Amino acid sequence: MTSSILNHYPYRPDCYDELFGDEGVRPHWQEFLDHIEESSGEPLKSRAAQLARGIQQNGVTYNVYADPRGTDRPWSLDLLPLILPAQEWRQISAAVAQRARLLDTLLADLYGDQSTLAEGLLPPELVFGHKGFLWPCQGMRPVGGHYLHFYAADLARSPDGRWWVIADRTQSPSGAGYALENRMLVSRAFPDLYRDLQVESLGRFFRGLQRTLAKEAPTDGEPPLTVLLTPGPFNETYFEHVYLARYLGYPLVEGQDLTVRDNTVYLKTVSGLKRVHAILRRLDDDFCDPVELRADSALGIPGLLGAVRAGRVLVANALGSGLLESAALPGFLPGICQHLLGEELAMPSVATWWCGETPARAEVLERFEDLVIKPTFPGSGEGAVFGDQLSEAQRDALMARIEANPSAYVAQELVKLSRAPAWAGGQRRKLVTRAMGLRVYVCLTPEGYTVLPGGLARVAGVENTRILTMQKGGSSKDTWVLSDGPVSAFSQLHQTVRAKDLIRETGTLSSRLAENLFWFGRYGERCDAVARLARLALSRLSESRKVERSGALVMMLELAIGMGLVDAEVLKAPIAKAELDLFRAVLDRRSPNGLASNLQRLTWCANQAREHLSLDNWHALKRLTAELEDCRSKVSDVPALLEFLDEALTTFVSLSGFAMDNMTRDTGWRLHILGRRIERLDSLGTTLARFLRRHADLHLPLQQELAVEALLELCDSIITYRTRYRAQPELLPALHLLVTDEANPHAMAFQVRLVSSYLHSMQGWGGLELEELNVAFARLQDFDWACLEATRPASERIEASLHLAEALDRLVHAGRQLSDRLAMRYFTHVGYAGQATFAA
């Protein structure tokens, strides 16, 4: 059958074409082609659009998790899957499973008695000279006996149709999350076809890994807890960590979330320490324990090696497994396979010469043009180089480098990659072809190594690229393995929840997450307080050309000095100085207590607590940060800055509203609200105390009155005041409103009442922890307000003001102590910042 879609198919006879062979369309593609042929051009285009929408939707979600700046999804997805027939897949799958078994056995040998080195099957330099050989792990036998639980092989197909292994990924292979996601999207684009073609399901694959971890994890009889260890949100594959953690149902943790006590690993949660039995790691192994491995690692878990050595925790892949990621290794695998497994290596590696061998080096220098030159060990900073793309000078320089340090280089045969059809997009219904490689995944199941039936096909971004990287414009494809038997419909993503599975509470809240929610609350309030004060001070600047004439301005600047927003000199300097300082406090991150700095901290905390916050929080923060940047580059006058501050305050009020309206009332929420209340107790108390101490310096009654009015405005209580008193602001009633009124959200009493009510609702908190706060508050309540009456002598009033200020100080102090106590109890469980030490 001649197919119109194939009329312009760019078949290249010098490469293997996945779709098209010497005898026309390959049989396993026929049904797929017929299907897209029947649906004329338009539907295919609309499917592509649907796919793009799906990517974008997921992308939005993941980008939020991956990167607050919202950079693009790391790579794109082609509409057409790669299709492989059952027969061929069986061979690939058996070969790759054998390779996983071989590498696992080899790791056990190299970290054990090293027979492969003694027998000369592997150059010792590839072990002793490899940074990935973790000396402290030598002789350490992991629980369960396996080193490799999850492995990936990069495959390529040569023009004769054979598959070759290009590289091994033994540290913590990435991309399986993308493979799952690609399947979801592409199978939705071709729902009928996907069903009719009997494509192997990916759903069962990770069940196998889960069963292995559950079985091998050492326990004292309790159900095992497995966590997924990530380096954190700054890792380029972080979104995938989030995705897999959810898919597998494992808590996503960073090193700081875990602690080792008595050779046992624990997860720090708000309900205490919980034992961790297995760690699926995405953190490189040399970063995992600063006590015995890299001392400069801030990402690891001090003492982890001790727990592994004691057999108290399973780490997958085992620490030290990165050793096998070396370009020189494949050349030695056939001999090692014979020695360790007594089998032939089923799938060959691409021809490899390690320049550390003298005869190999001679051959490499001879055949330079046909080879790719790579560094022997990962992380050397050098990339792969094509021998035929070098100028003569470059070539000589590289040859000299090889001669000087031959064992650092490996040469590989250049594989002419196979080509797969891809959807070109655009107006015409046209297929193009792209160079292609396939990453396949293997996991350890209780039944042995099992290969994901599918994988991540990676295609070059432009027509003639020879290197497949996702970062440089490459694209990915779903891989469909056709089944000749019945296929399972099992999927972990689409499991239906039954009534008995209904969950009322989200699982354990990690201490790190809780702490970030707490500080998200505190910084939210702090930003609000700073923005309010800056707005008020700026708006009063225009009242007078002379600072000392305006009581309100003097007091607001006094408070701004107290908050560290402006220099102490502003009171005596020309008004322009105050203006300049306030601009800086709002827009410049170098002002450490200013709005820009606190907004940055707020965003940081939000980023760290992203799993718990709704998208609205994100949009609001992103918009405000963008506006701040905009403002910094443009704004020069006070009205524009005031406009920005209005916008900022609206945002902060919204964040507070989201917290009350959108967040689930769990422990995390309570800690967030406690953070808000404690911060407001702090900033309000500090403000009132400073106001009380400076107020007496204002001599004119009008000055005093305007200052009190500004204070009420600052504390967002002017409306309440006017409704109650219908008179000009005076000190006594204003302070009474701001200190003792339990109903006013901007009063000290309100914060104290809420703090104690939230704390009482948290498990294990009683009167003891609150005692200090209660005592300090009682003293404030005992204050004799009559002493502040305007009819009293000035000296008496001043003394009373100072008394009140002291009582406020004490309450602020109690709040700070409480904050520290919360931190000890819920967040650190002992301490936090670690320091590495060496002593001679």
The footprint of other proteins (CB under 8 A) covers: 114, 117-121, 123-125, 128-129, 135-136, 138-139, 259-263, 290-292, 295, 302-303, 306, 335, 356-358, 404, 828, 830-840
State the nearest-atom distance from the C-beta of 261 to other proteins, in Å.
5
3-state secondary structure of 495: coil
For strand 24-25 and strand 20-21, is the pairing parallel, antiparallel, or unpaired? antiparallel
Residue 287 vs 669, nearer CB to other proteins: 287
State the nearest-atom distance from the C-beta of 539 to other proteins, in Å.
44
Backbone angles phi, psi at 328, to 5 degrees: -85, -20
State the nearest-atom distance from the C-beta of 302 to other proteins, in Å.
4
State the nearest-atom distance from the C-beta of 285 to other proteins, in Å.
15
What's the CA gap between 545 and 576, in Å, rounded?
Answer: 9
Residue 306 vs 437, nearer CB to other proteins: 306
State the nearest-atom distance from the C-beta of 284 to other proteins, in Å.
15
Residue 221 vs 831, nearer CB to other proteins: 831
State the nearest-atom distance from the C-beta of 329 to other proteins, in Å.
13
Q: Where is 333: in which H helix or E strand?
A: helix 333-341
Residue 133 vs 604, nearer CB to other proteins: 133
- Residue closest to 251 by CA, chosen among 495, 68, 512: 512
Residue 256 vs 667, nearer CB to other proteins: 256
Tokens of residue 73, six digits: 């999804």
3-state secondary structure of 270: coil
> Residue 755 corresponds to which amino acid?
V
Q: Give one DSSP letter per residue of 654-668, joined into a string.
A: HHHHHHHHHS--SHH
- Residue closest to 213 by CA, chosen among 267, 275, 268, 144: 144
**Burial class of residue 521 in the structure, from the number of CB atoms within 10 Å of its CB (0-12 exposed, 13-18 middle, 19+ buried):** buried
State the nearest-atom distance from the C-beta of 125 to other proteins, in Å.
7
Only one residue has tokens 């001070």, namely: 537
State the nearest-atom distance from the C-beta of 91 to other proteins, in Å.
29
State the nearest-atom distance from the C-beta of 137 to other proteins, in Å.
8
Residue 229 vs 452, nearer CB to other proteins: 229
Residue 262 vs 343, nearer CB to other proteins: 262
Sign of CA dihedral 723, 729, 730, 732: positive
State the nearest-atom distance from the C-beta of 310 to other proteins, in Å.
8
3-state secondary structure of 374: strand
Q: What value, to the nearest 5°, has the Cα angle with vertex 442 and ends 441 and 446? A: 150
Residue 544 vs 828, nearer CB to other proteins: 828
Tokens of residue 471, six digits: 């970062």
Residue 636 vs 837, nearer CB to other proteins: 837
Residue 332 vs 523, nearer CB to other proteins: 332
Residue 332 vs 783, nearer CB to other proteins: 332
**Structural contact between residues 758 and 677, judged by C-beta atoms closer than 8 angstroms:** yes
> Residue 50 corresponds to which amino acid?
Q
Q: Give one DSSP letter per residue of 46-57, joined into a string.
A: HHHHHHHHHHHH
Tokens of residue 594, six digits: 């200013």
Residue 159 vs 335, nearer CB to other proteins: 335
State the nearest-atom distance from the C-beta of 130 to other proteins, in Å.
9
| Exposure letters 48-75 (e unless 16+ CB within 10 A, then b) | beebbebbeebbeebbbbbbbeeeebbb
Q: Which residues contact 626 (CB under 8 A, 6 or more apart)?
A: none
State the nearest-atom distance from the C-beta of 769 to other proteins, in Å.
18
3-state secondary structure 418-445: EEEEEECCCCCCCEEEEEEEEEEEEEEE
Sign of CA dihedral 725, 731, 737, 738: positive
